Homo-oligomer: A and B are copies of this chain.
């Protein structure tokens, strides 16, 4: 038998769903001045870590390959990344960060870090790490791509 819930406010899932939404919105907000969203930043980091085709990126980011087209379009328009024909397989584009893209990645990370310092202010640094680690453990088990 599980714990009897009096209210959904006592439900971990609902609280996390709500907080997750808030965190994402806050992320988008502080990145807006850079011209992109939290999802863009995520993908920018993925592309920075390893040379990948658009479809590899889309699979790992959990977005459709047609959606990835628009996202990479955004990067090119902003001058943050460029499509480079893969010499080994000329059907593929490798998404490569420009110098400006690497700067934007750093700036984005810094903006996120600052926003989190403020948003998670009610917690001590230790509690904040605790929160992240607990969430991480659940996420790993849930078979989601945390890369």
Tell me the A residues contacting B by CB distance below 8 Å: 2-5, 7-24, 26-27, 38, 41-42, 45, 109, 112-117, 119-123, 125, 127-128, 130-132, 134-142, 144, 146-147
| Other-chain contact of A15, B114, B115, B146 (Cβ < 8 Å) | B146
Q: Are B22 and A23 in contact (CB under 8 A)?
A: no
7 shortest interchain CB distances as A-B pairs = A20-B20, A13-B23, A17-B24, A12-B132, A131-B134, A17-B20, A122-B141
Query: CB distance A17 to B11 under 8 Å?
Result: no
Given A13-B23, A119-B13, A18–B139 Cβ distance below 8 Å? yes
Q: Are B9 and A16 neighbours in the complex by a CB distance under 8 Å?
A: no
Q: Are B45 and A12 in touch, CB under 8 angstroms?
A: no
What is the minimal beta-carbon distance from A133 to any residue of chain B, in angstroms? Answer: 9
Cβ of A14 and Cβ of B27 under 8 Å apart? yes
A63 CB, min distance to chain B CBs, angstroms: 12
Complex contact B12–A131 (CB within 8 A) = yes
What residues of chain B lie closer than 8 Å to A42, measured between beta carbons? 8, 14
